[in-house]
Amino acid sequence: MHHHGFGIYPSLFYDLPRLTNTMLNYSLKQLSTLLAAKKISSVELTGEFLGRVKVLNPDYNAFITVDEKMSFAQARVADAMIASGQAHPLTGIPIAQKDIFCTKGWLTTCGSKMLSNFISPYDASVIERFNAAGAVNIGKTNMDEFAMGSSSETSFYGPVKNPWDITAVPGGSSGGSACAVAARMAPAATGTDTGGSIRQPAALCGVSGIKPTYGLVSRYGMIAFASSLDQGGPIAKSAEDLALMLNVMVGFDTRDSTSLQRETEDYARNLAKPLQGLRIGLPKEYFVEGMSADVARAVEAAIVEYRRLGAETVEVSLPNTKLSIPVYYVLAPAEASSNLSRFDGARYGYRAPEYTNLNDMYQKSRAQGFGAEVKRRILIGTYVLSHGYYDAYYIQAQKLRRLIAQDFAEAFAQCDIIMGPTTPTVAFDLGEKNSNPVQMYLSDTYTIATNLAGLPGMSIPVGFSDNNRPVGLHIVGNYFAEAQMLNVAHQYQQVTDWHTRMPHKLTA
């Protein structure tokens, strides 16, 4: 982790009340109320969380970069906003930012050696929106290299650990963000999701996360992996917190050609609505082989709870589910091979120290700058786009993508919300799937289809396996149904406490 200058504000770490367990579980709204009532300043709150990062990050490796000077400067601006009565709901609250969002003056690496020296000259749209809201950037979180991975083990900066069990992966690619929230190093964080990269780590770390409908969150300044699938979104403790985060993150941006122009909405508006009459679709394809017994147990118990809350369940079918992984691993690498061609050692980022001519410089910089998984996907992508294979693979995958979207449209004619497991198993062990990429790819089997269809999906914690690793429930809504999905999640969180549980060794 870079910039260890914690010595600048030493007094903060001595004079302050330590964050108690209760405070660590405070919602964003509760923290906002404390700040507004001047019970704590943003500088103090930021110092408390930076203190936790300093103590815990060496074990968990959730952050790539921390810069207290920059964070405290933002906290002072936030305190001034609060004092002058100009506060927004997130003003003064520390938020961890996935290191895929370009952040002005901060090292922005995307988890890659290729960008290990890249200080961004500008802010991503998402970062601009948090800055405008007066939030404090507490640091940049570790991730799979260029968001390619499902375990946060492909990072140039080393793997992130799961705070529930240090021998387990936290999921990926937004593993650093999910770990930071689960370990209460930050009240909330941003992530990005191309095939499950917000929802899968949220599930494996026992926190809540949502991937909004494609096009709602601007991709400007969010380093691209697969442009037709990538979408930024929040990771937090609860659905209510996700709603407040979405209220900041969502919005039209002329700089992103895939950004959608829509009326702004308050994502928290339906949280309190009773679930009477809600129709939950259970895809028969999800509840067959592949799902481990402990995941099935927790998911089925959550569905029982939903019936108790007044919802009814109907069986639906998503027959093309089994095609989503092969389709994704044609389309996503194809787009990645194109998006990553800009990293050539010429303008910014890593350049090989020795080369003989321009072509040699390109080849060596890319050979040395990219890790194994990224190279694997560039090769697959280049292959499926090449002459003679384009029709057989790429065009075919695009046709199947349409069929997958059609399955969802037919299912949503019979239900309001689709539910199932977020992942087939709980967190696997570090290193367990590294020698078998296809095994690794299968951990996104339930999440990928929603990206292919552009639908919103979320994961909330619903229990634990026998070895105390968290289980996530996947909630999928129709296009632009985020407020409804958050309502569905919030009502469950009102009557259960999974989302308030924290790894026992982290209690204050």
Instruction: Give the pLDDT confidence of 137-168 residue by residue, as tens digits.
Output: 999 999 999 999 999 999 999 999 999 999 99
Identify the three-state secondary structure at position 334: helix
> What tens digit of pLDDT does each residue of 325-340 get?
999 999 999 999 999 9
pLDDT score at 438: 85
For residues 503 and 498, give the distance between their C-alpha atoms in angstroms, rounded to a whole number: 11
Burial label, 1 (beta-carbon count in 10 A; 0-12, 13-18, 19+): middle
Distance CA 38, CA 432 (A): 48
Count of domains observed in the chain: 1
Angle at the Cα of 119 from the Cα atoms of 113 and 122, rounded to 5 degrees: 130
Q: Quick check: is 327 in a domain?
A: no
Give the span between the Cα atoms of 263 and 18, in whole angstroms. Answer: 42
Residues 6+ apart with CB under 8 A from 280: 303, 306, 311, 312, 313, 314, 415, 416, 417, 418, 419
Catalytically annotated residue among 32, 112, 150, 197: 197
- Is there a domain that residue 82 lies in? yes
pLDDT at 479 over 50: yes
Whether 299 is covered by a domain: the verdict is yes
Measured CA to CA, the distance from residue 45 to residue 37 in angstroms comes to: 13
Res 2 pLDDT > 70? no
- Greatest CA separation found in the chain? 70
Q: pTM of whole model > 0.75? A: yes
Cβ neighbour number for residue 33 with a 10 Å cutoff: 13
92 Cβ contact list (under 8 Å, min separation 6): 32, 35, 41, 42, 45, 75, 78, 79, 81, 82, 134, 135, 136
Token pair, residue 178, equals 């999910």
Q: Is residue 1 very low, low, confident or very high in pLDDT (cuts 50, 70, 90)?
A: low
Distance of CA 242 to the CA centre of its chain: 11
Q: Is 439 helix (H, G, I), strand (E, B) or coil?
A: helix
Percent of the chain with pLDDT over 70: 95
Tokens representing 41 are: 């300043």
Relative to beta strand 417-421, strand 470-477 is antiparallel
445 is in which domain, residue-wise? 18-252+273-322+402-502
Whether the link from the prior residue into 42 is cis, omega within 30° of 0, is no
7 is a domain residue:
no
Distances (CA, A) of 352 to 52, 344, 345, 360, 367: 37, 10, 7, 9, 9
Q: Is 338 a catalytic residue?
A: no
Q: DSSP secondary-structure letter at 393?
A: I
**Which of 76-80, 93-97, 319-323 comes out lowest in average pLDDT?**
319-323
Please report whether residue 381 resides in a domain.
no
Q: What is the CATH number of the domain that holds 244?
A: 3.90.1300.10
List all residues 6 or more positions away from 261 whose beta carbon is below 8 Å from its beta carbon: 252
Which of the residues 71, 98, 120, 433 is marked catalytic? 98
Residue 10, pLDDT score: 39
Dist. CA 331–CA 320, nearest whole Å: 16
The answer to whether residue 9 sits within a structural domain is no
CA distance 350 to 346: 9
- Rounded to whole angstroms, the Cα distance separating 300 from 136 reads 39
Token couple for 156: 């140039």
Q: Is 337 labeled as catalytic in the residue annotation?
A: no
Q: What is the pLDDT of residue 13?
A: 43
- Residue whose token pair is 């209220």: 247
Residue 262 forms part of a structural domain: no
- The answer to whether residue 194 sits within a structural domain is yes
Cα gap 17→210, rounded to integer Å: 33
- Active-site annotation holds for 375: no
